[in-house]
Every structure is written in structure tokens, then in C-alpha cells.
């Protein structure tokens, strides 16, 4: 009998939980499951999706045991994989992460710049707490962590839980690769061999080859210079004109800073902060879009399933952003040696940046974990940017460990999204006040 696995989703009340469940159910042939658990410390929020998830599971495979709980022992006992996507402070705090920096004329974004720093200071304790539960109740479990901001969380776990079975991963490159495959006319991102390096939300593709080994990057760069990540004239006409459309379009400008690579769209916040701030609505940010859009849609779809007792006609669908989780779990379970982008300790993979940097690079994944692929030396432009951003991330984690006001001020001062130490200090005082129930007390 083939082994069946048990999974806990930490952050069970997330609006992404139903699509992760659908994706797990869609891939039972690759990753057979005997148990799916939801775990959240906010019972009321988790209950908005829990019943619907139970119905989805029953419809697909009633033999899978299902539990939704707020009890860490029940959640973490007898699990093989923890899929962690927690958001400490929820969307209420995300809104402040975005609006407080904008008030000071700085980029307001949930994972980049001051907002990302504030979020990182909240996330560290939550992720460590979940690692400790996992190690206590299921020491052989793997935690596949995609809680944001991933690079700050990864740096904290490197220092504070160096031996834990945690793999930090992000769905952003997956979304980019879907777009790239579409533009290149390739059926799936799995049909491409990519080379990429950087930090999380801060990286560059240096090679994109099809399965015949043809290098597609120069042609793709020409396309991006004209259309960004939009699929040509047709895409320009038919795409939904939302903030993601703007982000994908703006890659036209980012690619000009180094036309030998394809940049992560997040580099917009670091390289063009003035543009971002002048095109941001200080009163209505992405958090508001999510609260008024995605959150309402998902919770009402779940309420509908719960009311009807079945998922017929439900708008809920498998999320592409969730597919990498099954890829990673399958590679660990079955030693597939799949090549995946992970956030791992550099250890010389990128030769000319610090050994202990947490970098996002391709790795080969098997049952014992991952093996990073060598990148070699990187150009001065990228090296300079990475080292500056890396210093920010390291200072944030040091500030959290040491309860240091000084180090957090230094982190904000060093961020490319903040114009001066004066602004950094004003920002810090505002963010500290907003986060007093979440951050350690700084002195």
C-alpha cells in the first residue's frame, strides 16, 4: 500500500486556504492524503472557510480525515507536511503597513520597504511559534513556509531555528513564469529551464530555455520592453485593468535598467519609488482592494457552499499560486529531484555576496531536502542592490532579537524606498505606535 500523507495548513482562515485544498485534492494521484487539518488562532475567521473546505474534501475523497482546530497539539500531531501561510495582524495591519509609509511620502507595500519591515517584525514570532509546535508534536514533519515577508522570515529562522525542517518558498516567481511561458508560446512553465538569482521579491532571470535548449531570453526582453508582462496587443485590450495590470505593464521600465535579464516586477518599488508613491492612492491601497474584493468573494463563496451542502456551481477554483506547494511536497516525499526556486542560505552559490545571505535560487529537491545550484559571480549593479537590501533584512532580524530601536532605525534608513534617516525615524515612531501589540518592545 502506498503511503498516504497528513497535512496541516497553518493560517487556516486565509482566503487562499480553499484554493490550496482544491489544489491538494486535484493532485491526490501525485500526493495521496489521509488527513487534512486547518489550524488558526482566530477561530471566527477560520470558521468562515472551514465548513466549505470540509464539503470540498468529502465530495472528492470521503476517506480523507478532516479537522479544523485552534489547538496546536491537535493540529500538529501526526503530520508529514505543514503548509504555513500565516498573517500576523491580518489585513487590518496590512492596511497600516501600506498607509503609514505613504503618509510619509514612501512606498506603501506589504512586503517591500517600511511596510515589509513592519510586517516582518510581526511575523517572526508567529513563524517561530509554529516551528516549535511542529518540532514538539511531529519532529519529522517538513514546514513549507510561504508566510510573508519571506526573506525576513527566512533570515530569522536561519539564525533562531538553524536545524528546523523548514523550507521557505514564494509563489511570486511561479506567477512570473506563467506569464513568461504564455508570452513565449510555451504550453507550461514546466517546459522551461530557468536560471534566476536574488533575494525574495528582489531577483533577476538570466536564462530561459525551452526543452530543446534554445535560449529565449533576448526575445522575451524585447517583448517586455514593449508590453511588460502583458501578452501583446491582444492582452493589452483584454486584460483586467487592475493594479496587477499596472504592475505587469511597468516591467517595461524596470527591464531597461539591465536588458540582459528579466527583472522581478517587485523591483519597481526599489528602483522607481518616486513613481510608485506618486501613482498610489493614500486612502485606498491594495489591502482595501483585497478586503473589498478577494476576501468578500471567497468568504461568500464558502458561505454559499456551507448553505447548499455542496460545491455545485461554486466560483472557487484551484489557485495557480498554490501549485508549487504540491510540487515541493511531492519532491520531498518521492525524491523526484525536481528543480525549484527556494529561499536558502547562499553558502557560496552566488560567489561574490555574503555566505550567510538567504538567497532565492534554483535548487534540486529530494527526500533529504534541497541542494542549491551554483550561480557564480553576479554583476556589480545587482550585487550592490542585493547587499544593500540584505543589510536591511539582517538589521530587522537583529532589531527583533535585541529589541533594538537603533537597529530598526538603521534598517529603515538603509532601505532604497526611504529617502533619509530623518524620514526613517519619523516612520519608525509611527509604525512602532501602530504595532505595539505585535512587536517586541524596542529600546
Rounded to whole angstroms, the Cα distance separating 376 from 99 reads 39
Rounded to whole angstroms, the Cα distance separating 319 from 83 reads 15
Q: Before 220, cis peptide (omega within 30)? A: no
Q: Which of 39, 146, 197, 266 is catalytic?
A: 266
Which residues are CB-contacts of 349 (< 8 A; sequence separation ≥ 6)? 359, 361, 372, 373, 374, 375
Which residues are CB-contacts of 419 (< 8 A; sequence separation ≥ 6)? 105, 106
Which residues are CB-contacts of 295 (< 8 A; sequence separation ≥ 6)? 15, 91
Whether 197 is catalytic: no
Q: Which of 171, 197, 269, 270 is catalytic?
A: 171
- Give which of 425, 415, 100, 95 is closest to 271, Cα–Cα: 415
Enter the C-alpha cell of residue 273. Answer: 519609488
- Distances, alpha carbon 412 to alpha carbons 96, 233, 424, in Å: 16, 40, 5
Whether 210 is catalytic: no
Q: CB atoms < 10 A from the CB of 73, how many?
A: 10
β strands within 103-186, DSSP E: 142-145, 166-168
Residues with a known catalytic role: 171, 266
Amino acid at each position: 500500500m502506498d503511503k498516504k500523507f497528513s497535512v496541516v495548513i497553518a493560517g487556516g482562515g486565509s482566503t487562499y486556504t480553499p484554493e490550496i485544498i482544491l489544489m491538494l485534492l486535484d493532485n491526490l494521484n501525485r500526493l495521496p492524503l489521509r488527513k487534512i487539518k486547518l489550524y488558526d488562532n482566530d477561530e471566527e475567521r477560520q470558521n468562515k472557510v472551514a465548513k466549505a473546505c470540509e464539503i470540498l474534501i468529502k465530495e472528492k475523497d470521503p476517506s480523507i480525515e478532516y479537522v479544523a482546530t485552534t489547538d496546536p497539539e491537535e493540529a500538529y500531531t501526526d503530520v508529514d507536511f505543514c503548509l504555513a501561510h500565516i498573517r500576523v495582524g491580518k489585513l487590518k495591519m496590512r492596511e497600516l503597513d501600506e498607509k503609514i509609509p505613504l503618509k510619509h511620502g514612501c512606498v506603501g507595500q506589504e512586503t517591500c520597504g517600511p511596510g515589509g519591515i513592519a510586517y516582518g517584525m510581526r511575523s517572526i514570532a508567529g513563524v517561530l511559534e509554529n516551528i516549535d509546535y511542529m518540532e514538539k508534536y511531529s519532529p519529522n514533519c517538513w514546514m513549507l513556509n510561504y508566510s510573508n515577508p519571506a526573506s525576513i522570515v527566512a533570515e530569522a529562522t536561519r539564525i533562531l531555528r538553524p536545524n528546523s525542517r523548514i523550507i521557505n518558498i514564494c509563489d511570486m516567481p511561479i506567477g512570473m513564469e506563467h506569464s513568461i511561458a504564455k508570452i513565449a508560446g510555451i504550453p507550461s512553465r514546466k517546459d522551461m529551464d530557468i536560471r534566476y538569482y536574488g533575494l525574495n521579491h528582489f531577483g533577476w532571470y538570466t536564462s530561459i530555455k525551452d526543452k530543446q535548449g534554445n535560449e529565449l531570453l533576448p526575445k522575451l526582453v524585447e517583448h517586455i520592453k514593449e508590453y511588460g508582462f502583458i501578452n501583446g496587443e491582444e492582452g493589452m485590450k483584454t486584460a483586467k485593468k487592475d493594479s496587477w495590470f499596472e504592475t505587469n505593464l511597468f516591467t517595461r521600465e524596470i527591464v531597461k535598467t539591465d536588458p540582459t535579464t528579466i527583472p522581478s516586477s517587485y523591483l519597481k518599488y526599489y528602483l522607481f519609488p518616486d513613481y510608485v508613491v506618486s501613482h498610489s492612492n493614500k486612502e485606498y491601497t491594495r489591502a482595501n482592494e483585497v478586503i473589498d474584493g478577494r476576501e468578500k468573494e471567497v468568504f461568500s463563496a464558502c458561505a454559499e457552499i456551507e448553505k447548499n451542502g455542496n460545491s455545485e456551481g461554486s466560483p472557487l477554483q484551484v489557485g495557480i499560486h498554490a501549485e508549487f506547494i504540491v510540487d515541493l511536497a511531492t519532491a520531498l516525499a518521492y525524491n523526484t529531484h525536481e528543480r525549484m526556486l527556494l529561499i536558502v542560505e547562499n553558502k557560496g552559490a552566488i560567489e561574490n555576496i555574503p555566505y550567510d545571505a538567504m538567497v532565492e535560487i534554483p535548487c534540486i529537491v529530494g527526500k533529504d531536502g534541497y541542494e542549491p545550484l551554483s550561480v557564480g559571480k553576479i554583476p556589480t549593479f545587482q550585487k550592490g542592490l542585493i547587499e544593500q537590501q540584505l543589510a536591511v533584512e539582517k538589521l530587522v532580524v537583529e532589531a527583533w532579537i535585541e529589541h533594538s530601536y537603533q537597529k530598526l532605525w538603521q534598517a529603515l534608513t538603509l532601505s532604497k524606498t526611504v529617502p533619509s534617516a530623518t524620514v526613517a525615524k519619523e516612520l519608525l515612531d509611527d509604525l512602532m505606535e501602530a504595532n505595539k501589540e505585535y512587536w517586541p518592545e524596542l529600546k
